[in-house]
Chain A
């Protein structure tokens, strides 16, 4: 290792060129007074919801994971899929892993505080790509079974009714999760990437709820009733992006 690595100071030959750089600053009373006034006004205007977003990050992460666990428990106890007993357990774990893995990553990134070093662009791309890959694999897997009559429903005259019902079911959970995550989030409208990840996580929560609820394995139903939950989610992400860029 060269000498420069072991020293804490600026190379003096460079420092001598710009002796003023890094010097202590003059007092700037007007800037401080004006800034403090505006800051106090903003802090005083913060609503009660800021009490939730101000919780320590570990607590917010815990609450977010608890929210997902709550959704899973609620659906399993209340409206679990009719073919639950015959569904191969290994396959179910794989399917849930492909949804919950990206969901947890999205939650962690969405609630990551600004006081931690930012995720690199490469890491962001990796996480988004991994999430999309998991979803693609999840959709590409063949039907786990055809042993239950409920799995064959949702075709014919009831196609749109069943698809619409699933869409509303999934979207309800997604909207509930989005609201809850919105309370936990400290992101302003200018932080589009973590906000978008929050929306993405909410959408995945809706898909998890749908997966545990709906026994229909017919591809058309999955496309029309389940995948479409992504449409309003994507619209919201694009809207966020547009607001930030605009």
Chain B
């Protein structure tokens, strides 16, 4: 059994001119980026365009990539910056299409209780200050560890943890009834 190539080894190959390695990175990350962007942007064409732009910028900025650095936060930083520009151009804040484009959420659309909680979560997320909201989206929805989130948003890891904590507290406060219903405490969800 062969171990899949790491992001960094693929990037190293690409830096040596191996376009197949670039294609492998695209195949690995384009769907993830599309899902992340689709949570914020409802127009599918715009989402696909930003995914394209992200990889175009990866190509243009490839010589900025430091060998030994993690690729994923680097890639997500580009995508997040392009998304910010998209919203700045349109003069509006991100939408929160939670569940709308999430394959794992499909099939639950008929559950009125869950839909109501999802709608509430969308509303509460939209009320969070952008720095808290951004950190929660990256940490929770994208499953990124705080260390990588810190790189992406350009803040220290401890600052990011504080933002996340405050954001989660607000979410918990607003979703109090639903959270109680979901039960249980204790951390430890494994990060990808």
Known: A13-B183, A14-B168. A32 touches B26 (CB 8 A): yes
Closest Cβ of chain B to A21, distance in Å, is: 5
Name B12-41 residues within 8 Å CB distance of A.
23, 26-27, 30-32, 34-35
Q: Is the CB of A25 within 8 A of B103?
A: yes
**Interface range on chain A (Cβ under 8 Å from partner):** 35 or more
Expressed in whole angstroms, the Cα–Cα distance for A91 and B143 within the complex equals: 56
Expressed in whole angstroms, the Cα–Cα distance for A36 and B24 within the complex equals: 10
Cβ–Cβ < 8 Å partners of A42 in chain B: 52, 56
Q: Is the CB of A35 within 8 A of B52?
A: yes
> B92 within 8 Å of A by Cβ?
no
> A113 within 8 Å of B by Cβ?
yes
Q: Is the CB of B179 within 8 A of A13?
A: yes
> A244 within 8 Å of B by Cβ?
yes
Q: Is the CB of A10 within 8 A of B140?
A: yes
> A9 within 8 Å of B by Cβ?
yes
> B43 within 8 Å of A by Cβ?
no
Expressed in whole angstroms, the Cα–Cα distance for A131 and B139 within the complex equals: 37
Q: Is the CB of A116 within 8 A of B154?
A: yes
Cβ–Cβ < 8 Å partners of B10 in chain A: none
Q: Is the CB of A2 within 8 A of B64?
A: no
Known A23-B103, A43-B56; 12 more pairs at CB < 8 Å: A4-B169, A8-B191, A15-B189, A22-B143, A24-B192, A28-B34, A31-B48, A35-B30, A54-B63, A114-B78, A114-B81, A117-B77
Chain B: how many interface residues by the 8 Å CB criterion?
A: 77
Q: Is the CB of B104 within 8 A of A21?
A: yes
> A26 within 8 Å of B by Cβ?
yes
Expressed in whole angstroms, the Cα–Cα distance for A9 and B164 within the complex equals: 11
> B186 within 8 Å of A by Cβ?
yes
> B185 within 8 Å of A by Cβ?
yes
Name A96-153 residues within 8 Å CB distance of B.
113-118
Can you name the residue of chain B whose Cβ is closest to the Cβ of A19?
B104
Known: A12-B187, A12-B189, A54-B63. A20 touches B102 (CB 8 A): yes
Chain B residues proximal to chain A, CB less than 8 Å: 23, 26-27, 30-32, 34-35, 48, 51-53, 55-57, 59-65, 74, 77-78, 80-82, 84-85, 88-89, 98-99, 102-105, 108, 117-118, 121, 139-143, 145-146, 151-155, 158, 161-162, 164-165, 168-169, 171-172, 175, 178-179, 182-192
Can you name the residue of chain A whose Cβ is closest to the Cβ of B106?
A20
Cβ–Cβ < 8 Å partners of A114 in chain B: 57, 61, 77-78, 81-82
Cβ–Cβ < 8 Å partners of B192 in chain A: 24
Closest Cβ of chain B to A82, distance in Å, is: 45
Closest Cβ of chain A to B63, distance in Å, is: 5
Cβ–Cβ < 8 Å partners of B57 in chain A: 114-115, 186
Known: A8-B145, A16-B183. A115 touches B56 (CB 8 A): no
Q: Is the CB of A115 within 8 A of B105?
A: no
Known: A5-B161, A18-B121, A35-B48. A12 touches B185 (CB 8 A): yes
> A11 within 8 Å of B by Cβ?
yes
Q: Is the CB of B142 within 8 A of A22?
A: yes
Expressed in whole angstroms, the Cα–Cα distance for A18 and B155 within the complex equals: 27
- Which residue from A18, A27, A39 sits with its C-beta under 8 Å from B52? A39
- Which residue from A3, A14, A50, A53 sits with its C-beta under 8 Å from B172? A14
